[in-house]
Structure 1
Amino acid sequence: MKQMVLAGARLLGVWLIVLAVLALGVEAVARVAFPYVPPGVWDYRGSRPPAYRSASFFSQDFIEESRSHQNWINPPNTRIIYPGDYSGRWFNVKNGARLTVGSPASADRRILLIGSSTIYNAEVPDEFTIASQLQKLINRYRGEQVQVVNLGASGVNVAQQLERLKTLSIGPQDIVLFYDGTGDAMQGVFYANFDGWIVGENRKQLNNVIARHRPAIEGLARHSRFFNWLYAKSTNYLPEHLKHPDQIRSLAVDSREKLLRGLLETDAYVRSQGATFMHVLQPDLFTRPLRDFELSLVQNHFLTMDGIEPALRIAHAEFASLTGVLKSQGIDAFDATALFDDVTEPIYLDFAHTNDVGNRLIAKFLFDALGKSRSLSEN
């Protein structure tokens, strides 16, 4: 009996060695055959990608606070999204608004800067958000006291922005500035769900098993090239409607019309409050040709999901006439989609979110647009 037990133990040992050798062999082949794909947004940003190379604020502590501070609130029976309060080193939120550095304690006029995560700017510290850099320009070049209020919220479209706006107090001296376009294109064209919201759609896409065990799976994907490849493959998908160009184009047309109706409704509401409305159509990675150093952003579906590029490029073509139509209706409207055409340095951290340099250029565009519209000189 003892000899049988020893023989069984030896056989088990041999099989374990064989399996270990096979596993090491598979891993060795995977490391040769497959490039490493950062298995998430935070892994990519934590690697200090090109858009962070010159960032004075970059550190792993900053990346961790950027990730962990976000707490998005969705009040019951609404589609409103806003950030929960937070007090930290790089991120501060109070009463649903992110801190605007340099904002005067009191002012007769406010600029309510409303948009999606591309206005909230979780990619940078408070002082480098679009809102803070716009405030800096106003403080430097304007003689009046004006507060810029950062009302960015993750994944919202224009309908949600208007719904939230209606819960806010608006004064007759205020300027409501919507900065958007990409969120509506994503919701309407990529997700083909005009009534949903982007964060909710993202949550639906991942398999429940993967969602429940994501931390452990991502840990394996960081250390094993084979699991890295398997995780990337198993979480990549192309929505069925994006396989058909005619459907993409039809959805883009519908998205443009829904966006236009939402903006016209917003203007009417803002006017009814005695305030001023202004719209800016935003740029993203696909409003111009890709640079070579941006290819890694579209090759990693954790940063740019498969199908986003055609969805956005076709949507942008349809949205091109939007600014002119709004102007013909007497609305102050500006098109910023060509803003980064001549920018040669890395500014994008994924298909939509920009670094401090990109935010500074956007803030300058908004400041100039406010001057052209004479909004800051009225009243």
Structure 2
Amino acid sequence: MSVQVSYKKQFVLGFLLIIILIGVIEISVRVYEATLPECTWINSDVFENNQTSKKICQDLKKIQYQYLGNYLLLEPKQDDLTFTTSSHGFRGPEFEIEKEPGTYRIFIVGGSAVMGVGASSDEATIAGFLQKSYDESDLNGKIEVINAGVSGAVVFEETDMIKEYLLQFEPDVIIGYDGGNDARTRSFDELPYFKNNQLFGIFKMSDLTIYRTPFVLNDFLNDFLSRSYHQAADDNSEINVMVAENWKNRWLDICKLGNENSFSTIVAVQPTLVTSSKHLSNDESKYVKGTSWESTTRNILETMGDFLPEMNKSCAQTADLTNVFDSYSEPLYFDDIHVTDKGNKIVAERLFEISYPILKNKIKHGINE
């Protein structure tokens, strides 16, 4: 009997020690998060004041994601000063799954540039500015513009999300604004290995939103593996063409899917600092090093642009926006790919010009009403 009691005490003691250890780690993690260094771009000349950039930085660090198969979504119902999400996992206001009569939906798909890293509010993202343009337009239908951007997404994740998740929301137009992440990471696998690694899956505990330790471990692992992946990104010309071809083929699949399911697909190659011919500010010029990595990134994006005429045969419209900022002299970039509110507005204005005739035609003929 005494031996059994001893085993029970050891078990209880061991269990308590584990709980205490978990608690100590969690406290340490929270202290670490509270004292994280500020984003390197807070004092960039692209921001009007660093109070705004500080708040953007703080909110970005708190963003949570959910893992659904081969793609990510934002955790629903996040609510910070500059960043909110709907119950469906999209940045921006709430909406119903089923459309009201006379409603037309535009989804913008892409990475962090679409999600709005650097935007001062949900309304200051590309989707937010595009929504404002449609609200002020002369179209009779109700237009809903939905931000389906997810930080770090590549074309494989984006197109899987469209096929497996977005279609239930009855899109009328899907805009793909991307290419930058694929070109920068040289993504030619179904998923970069740092996103498809078995160890990475151990930390996929996004439902435990109160418990911060898994998120921090996840960030550490993701950062370590992604850095290794980027360093190993090959400048082999054959691989680089493969990256662009895979991007093209993935979007052609969506364009054809849209033709079969009555939604129109617009594909736009996004700008990055290395594709731009704009006058660079002092801070912008710090992110252009003249390296072979930058040259290869530019070449891949240019090859994507070269594919657009071919893609026009199946897609509703395509656009090469890699030089969309060239005529602007003021600072727009705060790193090599992200812009602030002004840049988002410029892109949104161009996407409005491209998408407006398509929406007008759908409304005129009552398509998908």
Which one of the candidate residues 174, 181, 193 is aligned to 1:183? Answer: 181
Unaligned runs of 5+ in 1: 1-39, 205-210, 216-234
| Aligned-pair identity (%) | 20
The corresponding residue for 1:323 is 308
Deviations 1:64-105 (A, max 9, x none): 12322x112222xx21111112012211112211115999x9
| TM score, norm. by length of structure 2 | 0.70
Which one of the candidate residues 246, 260, 264 is aligned to 2:252? Answer: 264
Whole-angstrom distance in 1 between the partners of 2:263 and 2:228: 45
Instruction: Give the 3 Å change call, closer, same or farther, for CA 256–89 of structure 1 in structure 2.
Output: same
Q: Which amino acid aligns with 1:126?
A: D
Deviations 1:263-310 (A, max 9, x none): 1111122222222211111111111247252122346xxxx9x76412
Does residue 116 in structure 1 map to residue 104 in structure 2? no
The corresponding residue for 1:81 is 72
Kindly indicate whether the alpha-carbon contact (under 8 Å) linking 1:62 and 1:90 is maintained by their aligned counterparts in 2. Answer: yes
Whole-angstrom distance in 2 between the partners of 1:360 and 1:88: 22
Computing the radius of gyration from Cα coordinates, the structure with the larger value is: 1
The corresponding residue for 1:15 is none
The corresponding residue for 1:168 is 166
CA positional deviation for 1:54: 5.8
CA positional deviation for 1:261: 0.8
CA positional deviation for 1:366: 0.3
Aligned length: 295
Q: Which amino acid aligns with 2:287?
A: L
- Name the SS of the counterpart of 1:183 in structure 2: helix
CA positional deviation for 1:357: 0.3
Kindly indicate whether the alpha-carbon contact (under 8 Å) linking 1:154 and 1:199 is maintained by their aligned counterparts in 2. Answer: no
Which one of the candidate residues 35, 60, 64 is aligned to 1:71? Answer: 64
The corresponding residue for 1:344 is 329
CA positional deviation for 1:365: 0.5
Kindly indicate whether the alpha-carbon contact (under 8 Å) linking 2:332 and 2:342 is maintained by their aligned counterparts in 1. Answer: yes
- Name the SS of the counterpart of 1:239 in structure 2: helix
- Name the SS of the counterpart of 1:348 in structure 2: coil
Instruction: Give the 3 Å change call, closer, same or farther, for CA 62–371 of structure 1 in structure 2.
Output: closer
Whole-angstrom distance in 1 between the partners of 2:49 and 2:55: 17
Kindly indicate whether the alpha-carbon contact (under 8 Å) linking 1:97 and 1:151 is maintained by their aligned counterparts in 2. Answer: yes
Kindly indicate whether the alpha-carbon contact (under 8 Å) linking 1:131 and 1:148 is maintained by their aligned counterparts in 2. Answer: yes
Instruction: Give the 3 Å change call, closer, same or farther, for CA 278–320 of structure 1 in structure 2.
Output: closer
- Name the SS of the counterpart of 1:321 in structure 2: helix
CA positional deviation for 1:237: 10
After superposition, the CA RMSD in angstroms is 3.4
Instruction: Give the 3 Å change call, closer, same or farther, for CA 307–154 of structure 1 in structure 2.
Output: farther
Structure 1 outlier segments of 4+, above 6 Å: 201-204, 235-238
Which one of the candidate residues 348, 360, 364 is aligned to 1:376? Answer: 360
Q: Which amino acid aligns with 2:144?
A: Q
Q: Which amino acid aligns with 2:177?
A: Y
Which one of the candidate residues 263, 280, 285 is aligned to 2:273? Answer: 285
Whole-angstrom distance in 2 between the partners of 1:322 and 1:261: 10
Whole-angstrom distance in 2 between the partners of 1:316 and 1:149: 25
Which one of the candidate residues 153, 157, 166 is aligned to 1:156? Answer: 153
Does residue 367 in structure 1 map to residue 352 in structure 2? yes
Q: Which amino acid aligns with 2:84?
A: N
Whole-angstrom distance in 2 between the partners of 1:198 and 1:337: 27
